[in-house]
Amino acid sequence: MSLRLKLLRKQKAWSLEALAERTGLTKSYLSKVERGLSTPSIAVAIKVARALGVDVEELFSDEPSAEAIIVTRASERTPLGEEARATVQGIASGASAKRMLPFVLYPPPEFVPSAFKEHEGEELLFVHKGTIEMAFPHETVELRTGDSLYFNALIPHMIRSIGKVQAQVLIVVSHEDE
């Protein structure tokens, strides 16, 4: 249960103290359980499972939960449609309660008028293929295959593919559910 408990707690972005408050158990006791130094009773396991919103069996499972490890093969990407003439494909679509939104973008060859986007969170781009231009209000950045860009997504931004090869960009957007 030790590694499993820690993984489930971390997935919720809870500290040991937060879990202790939700279960009525002490932080030091929960730490011992996570490190395998103490084995909880069934009653304690039920308390912990309820606080985490999982079945008790999941706390004791040797198998990672169906959502702990998500593999998305290139042929299994989820089409998310087109946004401003750019093709978008979802990655890890089977995972729920994600704090990151990963997708592959095939940007259009021209900036779309009035296409500056801004949103909560942070954004990471990795150019997998081709060359792109990222435009911000006061600067434009050119990125080639293998380059990456990390920025606060509240800064208005837009993207286009430049050159003869259609760019393929991995984008990961962070978002915290309130």
Answer yes or no: CATH 2.60.120.10 is held by domain 74-174.
yes
**Nearest residue to 147 via CA among 168, 164, 174, 116:** 168
The structural domains of the chain, with segments of one domain joined by +, span 2-60, 74-174
Q: Please name the residue that has the structure tokens 């050119």.
A: 142
Tell me the pLDDT tens digit for each residue of 120-171. Answer: 888 999 999 999 999 998 899 999 999 999 998 888 999 999 999 999 999 9
- Angle subtended at Cα 11 by Cα 119 and Cα 9, rounded to the nearest 5 degrees: 140
**pLDDT per residue over 79-103, tens digit each?**
665 555 567 777 776 665 567 888 8
pTM over 0.75: no
CATH of 2-60, one of 3.90.550.10, 3.40.710.10, 1.10.260.40, 1.10.150.120: 1.10.260.40
Q: Quick one: tokens of 97?
A: 């309660």
